[in-house]
């Protein structure tokens, strides 16, 4: 197989593993070159973004219902049909032939023939494909926009159908990417010149200094600028929490649930690597990677510690950042898999964990110190509702205004929090507040 065909085959393997084990593991793509690995990620995420709609089409053009199919056949068909409909660069015959070959190799000649029949049935109607037409409105919307029904119900109730549709459409688009210049290794003005010299198209953000919106992160990877620590990939909305904490040179800062560490590195940059940042996470593997990154970025004031934050005792710090584990409903464009891995029980579990983490974080803040709580969720229970419940339990903390730290257009709750939305702000969905410990 050529690189493109190999990328398809590996993508099918990853999608099967996701269906059967609820794990998204890209390690199978390590056998491919850089281009092949990038293609695998594109295939996997785009198919997950459109999974319900692709399954609807399979049911429409197959005599065998999708519920009766093995996971392997489902994902071969999902990939082949995605190729035919959404990949203008792939001729129909190539999408069909590659899918049939993968099916024969994995499942035998009879399944290969079935794959061929289904895809040729669809090809004949490619210019007049059927649209979902279920009587159940929630199922209709969920299938059309490829989101789980529980989330469709929540969002349509909260935002109304029109805005919920806009949000789900944004989640199904290829996401925007931001690159942040790391001033510990270069200067923003020099990095800007470097990109211009190499013909990289970018738009500099006026929201936060040093952030550039780009079409792709591939040039930054291929030129080794990430490995050398000149810049990091970080959505601009993810930068709000560190800027809100406003760490100063010489301060003692804790970053809780810190991995993969991009916020720790940004805070080191803001502190000019002077003072101390303790990055805490429960995963030793992810902390090892964080420590390696800190060296590359010259963030020499970062220390790492493996611990469960809910069981951790530390001396009080000037500032604590808790970017809490959450449902991730604000990042469903970049992490399409999350929409299929979350449910209402996941939301309840996340809220309970966040409560424990916040209570632990509060004990680590000195009098007069700051606590920033942030998530990449859009759900109110994880965000301001969680904060208000925290304030009911902790009378020694007060909400502070976020005005002056984040753009006016993302401020919510009278300026006492920020919330971004993919369909409104063309970035990931993030929430955050600033809390101060008072006497």
Contact criterion met (CB below 8 Å) for 163 and 152: no
Known binding residue 281? Answer is: yes
As a whole number of angstroms, the distance between CA 339 and CA 342 comes to: 6
Query: Which among 304, 229, 296 has a CA at the least distance from the CA of 259?
Result: 304
The secondary structure element, H or E, covering residue 214 is strand 211-214
Band the pLDDT of 4: cuts 50, 70, 90: very low
Dihedral (C-alpha) 74, 339, 326, 347: value to the nearest 10 degrees? -100
Contact criterion met (CB below 8 Å) for 411 and 418: yes
437 backbone φψ class: left, alpha, beta (φ>0; ψ -120 to 50): beta
Q: Is the pLDDT of residue 5 over 80?
A: no
Q: Express each pLDDT in 159-202 by its tens digit.
A: 999 999 999 999 999 888 999 999 999 999 999 999 999 999 99
Backbone angles phi, psi at 327, to 5 degrees: -70, -20
The owner of tokens 């469960």 is: 308
Band the pLDDT of 3: cuts 50, 70, 90: very low
Tell whether domain 7-125 is in CATH 1.10.940.10. Answer: yes
Q: Is the pLDDT of residue 99 over 90?
A: yes
* Architecture of the domain spanning 236-437: 3-Layer(aba) Sandwich (3.40)
Per DSSP, the residues of 277-328 read EEEEES-HHHHHHHHHHHHHTT-TTEEEEE--GGG-----EEEEEEE-----
Q: Express each pLDDT in 355-399 by its tens digit.
A: 999 999 999 999 999 999 999 999 999 999 999 999 999 999 999
Helix (H, G, I), strand (E, B) or coil at 152: helix
β-strands 417-419, 411-412 pairing: antiparallel
For the question of residue 257 being annotated catalytic, the response is no
Per DSSP, the residues of 391-420 read HHH-TTEEEE--BTTB-GGGEEGGGTEEE-
As a whole number of angstroms, the distance between CA 115 and CA 102 comes to: 10
Helix (H, G, I), strand (E, B) or coil at 232: strand
Q: How do the residues of the chain divide into helix, strand and coil, expressed in percent and rounded to 5?
A: 50, 15, 35
Helix (H, G, I), strand (E, B) or coil at 236: helix
Contact criterion met (CB below 8 Å) for 298 and 212: no
The pTM (predicted TM-score) of the whole model is 0.94
Known binding residue 308? Answer is: yes
As a whole number of angstroms, the distance between CA 82 and CA 172 comes to: 13
* Residue percentage of the chain with pLDDT more than 70: 99
Band the pLDDT of 35: cuts 50, 70, 90: confident
Tell whether domain 177-233 is in CATH 2.60.40. Answer: no
The owner of tokens 């040093």 is: 210
Q: Express each pLDDT in 147-168 by its tens digit.
A: 999 999 999 999 999 999 999 9
As a whole number of angstroms, the distance between CA 97 and CA 135 comes to: 36
Q: Which stretches of 307-427 are assigned E, i.e. beta strand? A: 317-323, 365-375, 397-400, 411-412, 417-419
Catalytic residue among 257, 326, 376, 427: 376
Band the pLDDT of 6: cuts 50, 70, 90: confident
State residue 1's pLDDT score.
43
Q: Is the peptide bond before 260 cis (omega within 30 degrees of 0)?
A: yes
For Cα atoms 50, 53, 58, give the angle at the middle one, nearest 5 degrees: 120
State residue 88's pLDDT score.
82
Backbone angles phi, psi at 116, to 5 degrees: -60, -45
What are the residue ranges spanned by the domains of the chain? 7-125, 137-171, 177-233, 236-437
As a whole number of angstroms, the distance between CA 173 and CA 239 comes to: 22
CA distances from 406 to 205, 246, 378, 380 (A): 12, 11, 18, 20
State residue 332's pLDDT score.
97
As a whole number of angstroms, the distance between CA 342 and CA 101 comes to: 33
Known binding residue 227? Answer is: no
Q: Express each pLDDT in 222-281 by its tens digit.
A: 899 999 999 999 999 999 999 999 999 999 999 999 999 999 999 999 999 999 999 999
Q: Express each pLDDT in 128-150 by its tens digit.
A: 999 999 999 999 999 999 999 99
Please, which residues have CB within 8 angstroms of residue 224's CB and are 6 or more apart in sequence? none
Contact criterion met (CB below 8 Å) for 34 and 219: no
As a whole number of angstroms, the distance between CA 332 and CA 105 comes to: 33
State residue 176's pLDDT score.
86
Contact criterion met (CB below 8 Å) for 80 and 94: no
The secondary structure element, H or E, covering residue 435 is strand 431-437
Length of the chain, in residues: 439
Higher pLDDT, 1 or 125: 125
Q: Express each pLDDT in 285-336 by its tens digit.
A: 999 999 999 999 999 999 999 999 999 999 999 999 999 999 999 999 999 9
Band the pLDDT of 439: cuts 50, 70, 90: confident
């Amino acid at each position: 197989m050529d690189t493109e065909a190999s990328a398809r085959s590996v993508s099918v393997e990853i999608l099967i593993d996701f269906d059967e084990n609820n794990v998204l593991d890209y390690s199978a793509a390590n056998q491919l070159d850089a281009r092949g690995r990038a293609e695998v990620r594109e295939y996997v995420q785009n198919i997950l973004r459109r999974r319900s709609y692709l399954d609807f089409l399979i049911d429409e053009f197959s005599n065998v219902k999708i519920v009766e199919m093995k996971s392997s056949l489902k994902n071969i068909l999902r990939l082949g049909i995605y190729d035919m409909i959404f990949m203008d660069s792939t001729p129909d015959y190539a999408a069909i032939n590659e899918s049939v070959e993968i099916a024969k190799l994995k499942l035998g000649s009879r399944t290969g023939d079935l794959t061929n029949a289904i895809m040729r049935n669809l090809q004949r109607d490619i210019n007049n494909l059927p649209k979902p037409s279920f009587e159940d409105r929630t199922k209709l919307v969920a299938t059309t926009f490829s989101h789980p029904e529980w989330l469709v119900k929540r969002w349509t109730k909260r935002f109304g159908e029109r805005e919920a549709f806009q949000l789900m459409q944004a989640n199904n688009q290829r996401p925007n990417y931001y690159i942040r210049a790391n001033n510990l290794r270069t200067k923003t003005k020099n990095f800007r010149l470097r990109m211009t010299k190499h013909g990289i198209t970018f738009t500099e953000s006026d929201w936060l200094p040093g952030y550039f919106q780009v079409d792709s992160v591939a040039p930054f990877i291929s030129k080794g600028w990430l490995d050398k620590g000149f810049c990091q990939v970080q959505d601009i909305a993810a930068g709000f929490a560190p800027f809100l904490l406003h760490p100063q040179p010489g301060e003692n800062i804790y970053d809780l649930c810190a991995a993969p560490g991009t916020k720790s590195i940004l805070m080191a940059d803001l502190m000019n690597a002077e003072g101390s940042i303790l990055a805490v996470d429960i995963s030793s593997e992810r902390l090892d990677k964080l420590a390696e990154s800190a060296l590359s970025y010259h963030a020499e004031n970062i220390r790492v510690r493996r611990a469960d934050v809910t069981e951790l005792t530390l001396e009080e710090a000037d500032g604590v950042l808790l970017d809490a584990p959450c449902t991730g409903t604000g990042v469903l464009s970049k992490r399409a898999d999350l929409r299929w891995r979350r449910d209402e029980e996941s939301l309840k579990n996340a809220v309970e964990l966040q409560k424990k983490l916040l209570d632990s974080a509060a004990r680590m803040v000195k009098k007069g110190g700051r606590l920033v709580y942030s998530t990449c969720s859009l759900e109110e229970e994880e965000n301001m509702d969680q904060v208000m419940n925290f304030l009911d339990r902790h009378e020694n903390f007060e909400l502070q205004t976020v005005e002056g730290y984040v753009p006016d257009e993302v401020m919510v709750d009278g300026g006492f929090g920020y919330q971004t939305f993919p369909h409104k702000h063309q970035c990931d969905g993030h929430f955050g507040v600033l809390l101060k410990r008072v006497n």
